Structure 1
């Protein structure tokens, strides 16, 4: 494994560890966690992120186990009332298998075929039992009462994720990008990488997503930036952004300082600006609309709802 591949792998392991910490904390009291919309969403997002990163690196066993956890969290997100001590025990079993895979990868730098086969064979029965338990519970649990429109808004349920086809397209193009960065550095290869960035850009019309890809292209086009430098920064930033986009949060995509430096000092268009806002609500709304782009207003609205919910 060359230095570039090793650095990308280390980034994946570092982020996966953070996501596993989030999952573990949520599983320690699953029944209480399931009643908190934001916390169960965190578990879903964490499993989704590990799955996506593993898919990009071709780590199929980690992708498989993370996907099974994600499926379980999706049920809890939609029907929190099905959480139980029995479900918690099965979730923890599946989680332990994912931890074992990541620890083996960190210690050995690879996942041998025989080892991963054993993990999959051992973990699948637990996940199958978990899905059966959640399915049976969902069929016997009374439907939750309807809530009014304002309470539904304050619940801050995430926007629906992108379709599976788009999810697969992002992962496939990120894998392609990673392979292209591993090739010999030539002007022609740099152009191929830029074409892949354009394909990624075309997957969404969201302003923040397209801006990020424009900054990536600017950094890639600079011949003084080596493929090793670019892979470590560009792939990581795009992976983080794709997690947000695939979960319906493209307006929260941002350019990291490291990527901005490679692009020549590019800045995020959503950097804070001082704006004078009147006290009168309608006037304040008009002032904000005149000062910010739509994507920025969506982020602001989300934050305001969160503040109201917590208050």
Structure 2
């Protein structure tokens, strides 16, 4: 992939990641005096998860690692929100953690690396303090933590929000005749959605996303066709999840690998009508046309 296109995709992700961090920060402000509800907690969990997954795929490992640590803190808050006392100090630590993520993101946007000294003295200590205060999540199953108490269908919720947003983005890219960075967009989206499938323990959906990536790699000359098939398969999966038909989820992209490259229009014509026959037919047509023209001319002089 050309470096300018790769950088364009990275900057687009970093812009989206900053929006996620802004959402988290605005939700956490005043947490000590105004506890957030389950829906808000789900929102910050999804935001942290999105930053973690996207940063990992883009190669921003420090950003991904710190976002993962913040996500773990939110998991504990969610699981223990009825028993855990949230005071001003805990609120300060959470907001400081978001600030450290923003600083790392700014460096990534500038094309700079995070210095190990800064990470050791400014970055990790905040997350270490959060860990000392909250500990580790009791289970690495975000699906059971997200809205477990209010009975919300987490898979349906995420497919109605996160997945719908991804598919709308892909539709807009496909609508552009130029389809800039389409292959990269589909590949990244497949990995993002595959990570969501793992989080929700939807093995069939994860397998579908993996097959999209494999098909792209195996047949790079058919990106638009594969993208459309992937969009259709993801839309079908979304509809099935929303109605609770998990067992019917497709596991593979229905793609028949062409044995030979698609023929050009000229090749199609030549195969259907050999060139020599085409020339002979054209000569016959020309002779007939000349004959008709002579007949018309003779009639005019009669």
- Measured against the shorter chain, the TM-score band is 0.5 to 0.7
Query: Which residue, out of 230, 236, 242, partners 2:183?
Result: 230
The corresponding residue for 2:224 is 262
State the secondary structure of the residue aligned to 1:121: helix
The corresponding residue for 2:134 is 134
Partner Cα separation in structure 2 for residue 120 and residue 51 of structure 1: 20
Q: Say whether the 8 Å CA contact 2:51–2:64 is kept in structure 1.
A: yes
The corresponding residue for 1:245 is 197
The corresponding residue for 2:152 is 156
**TM-score using structure 2 length:** 0.54
Partner Cα separation in structure 2 for residue 51 and residue 152 of structure 1: 22
State the Cα distance separating 1:118 from its structure 2 match. 0.9
Q: Say whether the 8 Å CA contact 1:37–1:157 is kept in structure 2.
A: no
Q: Summarize the Cα distance change of 1:76–1:295 in structure 2 as closer, same or farther, 3 Å threshold.
A: same
Q: Summarize the Cα distance change of 1:34–1:40 in structure 2 as closer, same or farther, 3 Å threshold.
A: farther
The corresponding residue for 1:59 is 60
The corresponding residue for 2:239 is 296
State the Cα distance separating 1:51 from its structure 2 match. 1.2
Unaligned runs of at least 5 residues, structure 2 = 138-146, 156-162, 210-215, 217-221, 246-302
Q: Say whether the 8 Å CA contact 2:183–2:223 is kept in structure 1.
A: no
Superposed CA offset, 1:129-184 (max 9, x none): 22222249x9xxxxxxxxxxxx967432736xxxxxxxxxxxxxxxxxxxxxxxxx
Partner Cα separation in structure 2 for residue 270 and residue 33 of structure 1: 38
The corresponding residue for 2:87 is 84
Superposed CA offset, 1:102-128 (max 9, x none): 12222x2x23253x5413431222212
Equivalent runs, 1:176-191 vs 2, <5 Å? none
Q: Which has the higher contact order (CA 8 A, sep 6+)?
A: 1
Equivalent runs, 1:1-311 vs 2, <5 Å? 2-31=3-32, 35-80=36-81, 81-82=83-84, 83-106=86-109, 108=110, 110-114=111-115, 117-135=117-135, 154-156=150-152, 158=154, 228-231=181-184, 233-248=185-200, 262-263=224-225, 265-266=228-229, 268=232, 296-300=239-243
State the secondary structure of the residue aligned to 1:263: helix
Partner Cα separation in structure 2 for residue 60 and residue 117 of structure 1: 16
Q: Summarize the Cα distance change of 1:5–1:298 in structure 2 as closer, same or farther, 3 Å threshold.
A: closer
Q: Summarize the Cα distance change of 1:299–1:128 in structure 2 as closer, same or farther, 3 Å threshold.
A: same
Partner Cα separation in structure 2 for residue 152 and residue 91 of structure 1: 23
Q: Say whether the 8 Å CA contact 2:182–2:223 is kept in structure 1.
A: no
State the secondary structure of the residue aligned to 1:4: helix
State the Cα distance separating 1:84 from its structure 2 match. 2.6
| Count of aligned residue pairs for this structure pair | 201
Superposed CA offset, 1:187-242 (max 9, x none): xxxxxxxxxxxxxxxxxxxxx9xxx9xx9xxx9xxxxx9995411x2133224413
Q: Tell me which structure has the larger Cα radius of gyration.
A: 2
State the Cα distance separating 1:301 from its structure 2 match. 5.3
Unaligned runs of at least 5 residues, structure 1 = 139-150, 160-207, 220-224, 272-292, 303-311
Partner Cα separation in structure 2 for residue 294 and residue 2 of structure 1: 34
Q: Say whether the 8 Å CA contact 2:107–2:114 is kept in structure 1.
A: no
Partner Cα separation in structure 2 for residue 33 and residue 242 of structure 1: 35
The corresponding residue for 1:306 is none
